[in-house]
Amino acid sequence: MSDYLWNKSGEPDAEVKRLEEALAPLRYKHQPLRLPANVNHKRRSHWLPLAIAATVVLAILGGVGSGLLYRNSRQQEVEIQSAATPNDTATDDQKREVVERAAHERSVSQETSRPQSNLSQETLNPNRDSSRSYRSNIVRYAPTHKRRESSGVVLSAQRGRKARTAQQTVAADNSQLTPQQQDEVRDGELAKEQLMLALHITSRKLDLAQRRMQEATSQPSVPR
Amino acid sequence: MSKVEVINNLFFTVVENQSAAVSVMPDHSPGGDALVEAAQKGDREAFTQLYNSYAPMVHGVLLARVPRGEVDDLVQDVFLQAFKKLHALRNVNTFGAWLATITRNRAMDFHRRSRAEEELTEEDARRSPAEVEANEILDVIRRLPEAYRETLVLRLVEELTGAEIAARTGLTPSSVRVNLHRGMKLLREQLGGKYE
């Protein structure tokens, strides 16, 4: 490229020179800048980043809160189940004895080549029907201090309501679902309930943040 | 032909086929940063100096896109808009590129709300032969790819040097050089040797 096209130095390129001359009538002619006396600067809203940050924090808190609530409800479910099972009254020593006996029986069953699954089910919970699935026979024990707490069926009104809801949901499907599926349905219902609560809280907080932002932006901007 | 030559040829073919060079760099026009900072604080005098310095660039960018009769008013619009939004500019080094973007957006906005083009034909009748010729060349330039047309208008109409174009628009000097070279080549072809 010729220097003339780049920086108008050196020997002029005839064609470029002619084009410059031909285009001269279109060249910028200086005109004074016309700025109105009162120009309102569009100020950046300080509420917007604040509102976004608040929403994120609230969403995280909502998530953590719902997680805790879910854990509590699971704990409560275990308590209810253990309260309804005769084995609940077993002491730690008795439980250990059952587990040891189960291990012993399993080793015997291997020797006599009996089906392992049936034996273990019967050993773990002989009161139950062996035709039911393995999972349904597992008795989940709550921590000792929790069991003591709930041994006299001293549940709060809220806990009782949640438990009844969960039990009703499961009872409605009892006739059609396997015990494993019932467990899953119950878990799902509880998780859904907690998620809806968390979403509700987050939604309310977001509404509040948006309302505050709108109030802030509706105020007249101040000229600099 | 050796493998190296083949690869080199392929590489240069790809580079040549690129539509336009559009790398952007900070604007380092002398004293510009201080003026921009002062204007951000509401100093109208500083903003007027920026206007004097950048108005030809804004004029050229608009001329490459909108009807000539609208350009002067749009230049004022662009600077008014820039003055209102100047506080939002975080990096004062990029004032030129920022202003060029506002200008291009304003031109697009103009076309969205485009007025009837019949007015232009009436204006044509009143123009001198020199102005008619200038408009004919401008029409040819406007049919070129966007990056070439903008750079060529800034060089041939506004008579900015390549370095000035780079400084005002925020493009790298090498991009401007490439756009000028390729744009001029295309323009020569379009004009068919009329100005040789």
What secondary structure does DSSP assign to B143-164, as a single string?
TS-HHHHHHHIIIIIS---HHH
Predicted local confidence at residue B128, as pLDDT:
81
CB < 8 Å to B188, chain A: 15
Q: Is B155 on the interface with A (CB under 8 A)?
A: yes
Q: Is A86 on the interface with B (CB under 8 A)?
A: no
- What are the two backbone dihedrals, phi and then psi, of residue A133, each rounded to the nearest 5 degrees? -70, 160
Here the ipTM equals 0.77
- Token pair 């002491």 in the structure block, residue: A91
Residue B157 is encoded by which pair of tokens? Answer: 């109409």
Average pLDDT over residues A22-28: 92
Predicted local confidence at residue A84, as pLDDT:
61
User: Are the beta carbons of B84 and A42 separated by less than 8 Å?
Assistant: yes
CB < 8 Å to B134, chain A: 22-26
Average pLDDT over residues A116-133: 47
Residue B72 has its nearest CB partner, among A19, A31, A39, at: A31
User: Are the beta carbons of A26 and B135 separated by less than 8 Å?
Assistant: yes
Predicted local confidence at residue A44, as pLDDT:
56
HSE, side-chain direction, 13 A CA sphere, residue B149: 18
A208: closest CA of chain B, how far (Å): 27
* Cβ-based contacts under 8 A for chains A and B: 100
- Token pair 């903008």 in the structure block, residue: B150
- Token pair 């921590």 in the structure block, residue: A143
* A156 secondary structure, DSSP code: -
Q: Is B54 on the interface with A (CB under 8 A)?
A: no
pLDDT > 80? residue A9: yes
User: Are the beta carbons of A39 and B80 separated by less than 8 Å?
Assistant: yes
- What are the two backbone dihedrals, phi and then psi, of residue A142, each rounded to the nearest 5 degrees? -80, 160
B82: closest CA of chain A, how far (Å): 10
In this predicted structure, which of A123-132, B61-70, B82-91, B144-153 has the lowest mean pLDDT? A123-132
pLDDT > 70? residue A79: yes
> Nearest chain A Cα to B196, which residue?
A15
In this predicted structure, which of A21-25, B113-117, B149-153 has the lowest mean pLDDT? B113-117
3-class state of residue A143 by DSSP: coil
Average pLDDT over residues B96-107: 94
For A83-150, what is the HEC assignment?
HHCHHHHCCHHHHHHHHHHHHHHHHHHHHCCCCHHHHHHHHHCCCCCCCCCHHHHCCCCCCHHHHHHH
Q: Is B7 on the interface with A (CB under 8 A)?
A: no
- How far apart CA B146 and CA B19 sit, in angstroms, is 9
- How far apart CA B173 and CA B28 sit, in angstroms, is 12
**How many secondary structure helices (H) and strands (E) does chain B include?**
10, 0
User: Are the beta carbons of B87 and A41 separated by less than 8 Å?
Assistant: yes
Residue B83 is encoded by which pair of tokens? Answer: 């003055």
| Residues listed for chain A | 224
Predicted local confidence at residue A77, as pLDDT:
80
- B42 pLDDT tier (thresholds 50, 70, 90): confident
- Token pair 């599926």 in the structure block, residue: A181
Residue B182 is encoded by which pair of tokens? Answer: 């390729």
What's chain A's average pLDDT?
Answer: 71
Q: How many CB atoms lie within 10 A of CB B94?
A: 18
